[in-house]
Amino acid sequence: MFEIYDNVRIKSNGVIGTIVDISTVNGNTNYVVESSTENISVGYGGKWKLFDCGESDIEKFKSE
Protein backbone atom coordinates (compact mmCIF):
# COMPACT_ATOMS: atom_id res chain seq x y z
CA MET A 1 0.00 0.00 0.00
CA PHE A 2 1.21 3.47 -0.87
CA GLU A 3 0.44 6.83 0.70
CA ILE A 4 0.25 10.39 -0.59
CA TYR A 5 3.73 11.95 -1.02
CA ASP A 6 5.52 8.58 -1.11
CA ASN A 7 8.53 8.60 -3.46
CA VAL A 8 8.09 5.86 -6.05
CA ARG A 9 9.57 4.48 -9.26
CA ILE A 10 7.32 3.58 -12.18
CA LYS A 11 8.36 0.06 -13.18
CA SER A 12 7.59 0.34 -16.91
CA ASN A 13 9.67 3.44 -17.66
CA GLY A 14 11.92 4.00 -14.63
CA VAL A 15 10.53 7.47 -13.91
CA ILE A 16 11.04 8.57 -10.30
CA GLY A 17 8.30 10.69 -8.78
CA THR A 18 5.97 11.50 -5.93
CA ILE A 19 2.39 10.32 -5.42
CA VAL A 20 0.26 13.47 -5.51
CA ASP A 21 -3.24 11.95 -5.60
CA ILE A 22 -4.89 8.66 -4.68
CA SER A 23 -8.39 7.58 -5.71
CA THR A 24 -10.38 4.37 -5.51
CA VAL A 25 -13.09 3.48 -8.03
CA ASN A 26 -14.90 0.13 -8.01
CA GLY A 27 -12.28 -1.26 -5.61
CA ASN A 28 -9.33 -0.31 -7.84
CA THR A 29 -6.83 2.18 -6.45
CA ASN A 30 -5.28 4.72 -8.84
CA TYR A 31 -2.16 6.71 -8.02
CA VAL A 32 -1.20 9.93 -9.79
CA VAL A 33 2.59 10.23 -9.81
CA GLU A 34 4.32 13.55 -10.51
CA SER A 35 7.78 13.23 -12.06
CA SER A 36 10.74 14.48 -10.03
CA THR A 37 12.47 15.56 -13.26
CA GLU A 38 11.37 18.59 -15.27
CA ASN A 39 10.22 18.42 -18.89
CA ILE A 40 10.68 14.70 -19.56
CA SER A 41 9.32 13.41 -22.88
CA VAL A 42 6.72 10.99 -21.44
CA GLY A 43 3.64 11.56 -19.29
CA TYR A 44 1.03 14.30 -19.48
CA GLY A 45 0.64 17.80 -18.13
CA GLY A 46 3.06 20.70 -17.90
CA LYS A 47 6.63 21.03 -16.69
CA TRP A 48 6.34 18.27 -14.05
CA LYS A 49 4.74 15.37 -15.97
CA LEU A 50 2.00 13.23 -14.43
CA PHE A 51 1.34 9.50 -14.70
CA ASP A 52 -1.73 7.42 -13.80
CA CYS A 53 -0.61 4.18 -12.16
CA GLY A 54 -2.09 1.14 -10.50
CA GLU A 55 -0.56 -0.37 -7.38
CA SER A 56 1.30 -3.02 -9.39
CA ASP A 57 2.84 -0.34 -11.66
CA ILE A 58 4.93 1.35 -8.96
CA GLU A 59 7.42 0.54 -6.24
CA LYS A 60 8.74 2.54 -3.30
CA PHE A 61 11.94 4.44 -4.04
CA LYS A 62 14.59 5.70 -1.65
CA SER A 63 17.22 8.07 -2.95
CA GLU A 64 20.76 7.12 -2.13
In angstroms, the CA 48 to CA 64 distance is: 22
**Contact in structure between 62 and 52 (CB atoms under 8 Å):** no
In angstroms, the CA 39 to CA 24 distance is: 28
The pTM for the full model equals 0.94
12-55 per-position pLDDT tens digit: 999 999 999 999 999 999 999 999 999 999 999 999 999 999 99
